[in-house]
Amino acid sequence: MQHLRKITVVGLGLLGGSVGLAVSQMLSGVKTAGFSHRPSTRSKARRLKVVDEVFDDIKASVKDADLVILATPICNFEDTFRQIADALKPGCIVTDVGSTKLMPHHWAAKCLPKNVHYVGSHPITGSEQRGVEFCRDDLFYKALCILTSVKNTDKRSLRIVNQFWSALGCFVKVMSPAQHDRIFADVSHVPHITAAALVNASDTEEMKFAGKGFMDSSRIASGPANIWADVLMTNKDNISRGIDRLTAQLTKIKKAIRSGNRKKIEKLLDAAREKRSTLVKYKMNRKELI
Amino acid sequence: MQHLRKITVVGLGLLGGSVGLAVSQMLSGVKTAGFSHRPSTRSKARRLKVVDEVFDDIKASVKDADLVILATPICNFEDTFRQIADALKPGCIVTDVGSTKLMPHHWAAKCLPKNVHYVGSHPITGSEQRGVEFCRDDLFYKALCILTSVKNTDKRSLRIVNQFWSALGCFVKVMSPAQHDRIFADVSHVPHITAAALVNASDTEEMKFAGKGFMDSSRIASGPANIWADVLMTNKDNISRGIDRLTAQLTKIKKAIRSGNRKKIEKLLDAAREKRSTLVKYKMNRKELI
């Protein structure tokens, strides 16, 4: 990656730390810097050597960086853009790993100087674990990574960010932030809310009888609440519409059950089974489920 | 198991076939017989030797059996009880592996002769796979198995059925069919409906962007529709109430998102995370998640 000599990661949690490790592993010769506002995270990051240098000062961390990657909760992005704006070198590329993209694009356009180029990134990976101690250098290997661009996104920067994630092992796909946020409301944010709602709707004692099905379908509810609250806060309209569509489907099945319409129940369950089986085949063919 | 010399399994799918295999493995000296109404299943079951003898005739299959286990979709139980009633020997114990228990108890009381003893069983195991070809002799190992009894359930038969599932490696817990159906509406039937609703509410093309979270939370939607339609048909009231509680939780989160109440969103997500983390610890301690 001839264009990238120094990469700075702002936020050293599971994703940020893993970016640092993966860069050391896959991009030899590239210097990595990292910043965290938490002293305890900084000392863990130093001990685990997730980046070459850990900074206490955010401006110092991004100095001379060719690529800056924000890996904090999304609602910190606006502040972070403002804090680093003056310290970025001309031509620097800024991206992030946030799960929504419309608001980050909006904040970047508002807060970053004109000679700095923003591209949105969303690597579809992670786990319900949080913290630098769960970092892995292979977290991005064979993961899908969505890049988002708008009309005036710098084409060269988009190409470099694409090369960057590809070098970490990602499959890259480019779309608009609007399309991204609509799609991920349905396939990620609403399922997350649903998992939380399922758990909240269940009795603590009765849940002890849960089998593997419940454990799997509620797994994502164990994700960090503060990170997810930011995701939900920055994709309100799409999520609202997604919850409405889900509720309509639940009501449809409930009506079929209440009226004892076995044919209708079986038809609805079979439609879901067929649709998911097609999806599983697609994922298997792309080796995404291995 | 001195009281059981011959066990008959009616229905040779994933669960029925696995009961056969597990009995051969764990209860030496016990003879196993099996019935399936499908010729193709019978020939597969013979080839795979899931029971000692596969019968074409249901009455012949239960002759001299000390324990008969129904492992067909639940809505066949009433007919099956009627078909086998005359062929059962006095003192025979009848049980099943169905996921709801109120209706099976009701049908057993109505259709089985007085000198035959019914006990409900619900081993919490299985997979989204179906068919005798997915049978495993360890399917019940470390699984929870709920037994259901009512006021006039024969105590000796309950004890024998308890010993039987324990011998296959299950943790056994006894409760009333009413309690069972209320609990499993919440921890199994509503989650199943939710997984199907999530898939049905999503766009086929957009689903291709789904990550591990969506795949896990929708996994149970791949279960066999005919078996699940029977489960839902036989637990209408509990499921209706469960869907209402889930919808109320979804609406609560949606309202917090729409009004931009970050504190409330985080509180709801955190409550779910805490509750699930307590559950995971409980399951880990019991080695149920291994």
Q: For A246, which of B250, B260, B266 is closest by C-beta distance?
A: B250
- Confidence tier at B58 by pLDDT (50, 70, 90): very high
Phi, psi of B90, rounded to the nearest 5 degrees: -55, 135
For chain B, percent of residues with pLDDT exceeding 90: 88
For chain A, percent of residues with pLDDT exceeding 70: 98
Return the structure tokens found at A183: 């799609």
Q: Sheet containing B53-55: give its strands across.
A: B53-55, B31-35, B6-10, B67-70, B93-96, B117-118
| B263 Cα to chain A: minimum distance (Å) | 8
pLDDT (0 to 100) of residue B236: 98
pLDDT (0 to 100) of residue B104: 98
pLDDT (0 to 100) of residue A129: 72
Query: Mind listing the pLDDT tens digit for each residue in B150-201?
Result: 999 999 999 999 999 999 999 999 999 999 999 999 999 999 999 999 999 9
Pairs of CB atoms within 8 A across A/B: 280
Q: For B217, which of A186, A195, A242 is closest by C-beta distance?
A: A195
- Confidence tier at A290 by pLDDT (50, 70, 90): very low
- Give dist(CA B65, CA B87) in Å, integer: 10
Q: Which chain B residues have a beta carbon less than 8 Å from that of A198? A: 190-191, 194, 246, 249
A172 lies within 8 A of chain B by CB: no
B203 lies within 8 A of chain A by CB: yes
Inspect the interface and report whether the beta carbons of B213 and A222 lie closer than 8 Å. no
The kind and range of the H/E element at B182 are helix B177-184
pLDDT (0 to 100) of residue A87: 98
**DSSP 3-state assignment of A279?**
helix
For chain A, percent of residues with pLDDT exceeding 90: 88
Query: Mind listing the pLDDT tens digit for each residue in A88-145?
Result: 999 999 999 999 999 999 999 999 999 999 999 999 987 667 788 888 899 999 889 9
pLDDT (0 to 100) of residue A15: 94
What does the pLDDT average to over B119-126? 92
Q: What is the dihedral of CA B110, B115, B118, B119, to 10 degrees?
A: 140
β-pair partners for B148:
B120, B175
Q: Is pLDDT of B105 > 90?
A: yes
Of the two residues B86 and A129, the one the predictor is more confident about is B86
Contact A30, A6 (CB under 8 A): yes
- Confidence tier at B290 by pLDDT (50, 70, 90): very low
**DSSP 3-state assignment of A187?**
helix
Query: Mind listing the pLDDT tens digit for each residue in B192-232?
Result: 999 999 999 999 999 999 988 899 999 999 988 999 999 99
| A126 Cα to chain B: minimum distance (Å) | 9
Q: Which chain B residues have a beta carbon less than 8 Å from that of A227? A: none
Q: For B213, which of A191, A246, A247 is closest by C-beta distance?
A: A191
pLDDT (0 to 100) of residue B128: 64
CB interface of B with A, residues 43-102, below 8 Å: 75
Amino acid type, B137: D
Q: Chain B: residue nearest A269 by CA?
A: B225
Q: Is pLDDT of B15 > 50?
A: yes
**DSSP 3-state assignment of A213?**
helix
pLDDT (0 to 100) of residue A128: 64
- Give dist(CA B266, CA A232) in Å, integer: 10
Return the structure tokens found at B20: 């056969």
Q: For B253, which of A196, A207, A252 is closest by C-beta distance?
A: A196
The closest alpha carbon to B81, from B92, B53, B177, A232, belongs to B92
Query: Mind listing the pLDDT tens digit for each residue in A192-217?
Result: 999 999 999 999 999 999 988 899 99
What does the pLDDT average to over B92-113? 98
Q: Chain A: residue nearest B186 by CA?
A: A202
- Give dist(CA A96, CA B54) in Å, integer: 61
Q: Which chain A residues have a beta carbon less than 8 Å from that of B214? A: 187-188, 191
The secondary structure of chain A in percent helix, strand, coil, rounded to multiples of 5, reads: 55, 15, 30
Query: Mind listing the pLDDT tens digit for each residue in A62-87?
Result: 999 999 999 999 999 999 999 999 99
Q: Chain A: residue nearest B191 by CA?
A: A214
Inspect the interface and report whether the beta carbons of B207 and A268 lie closer than 8 Å. no
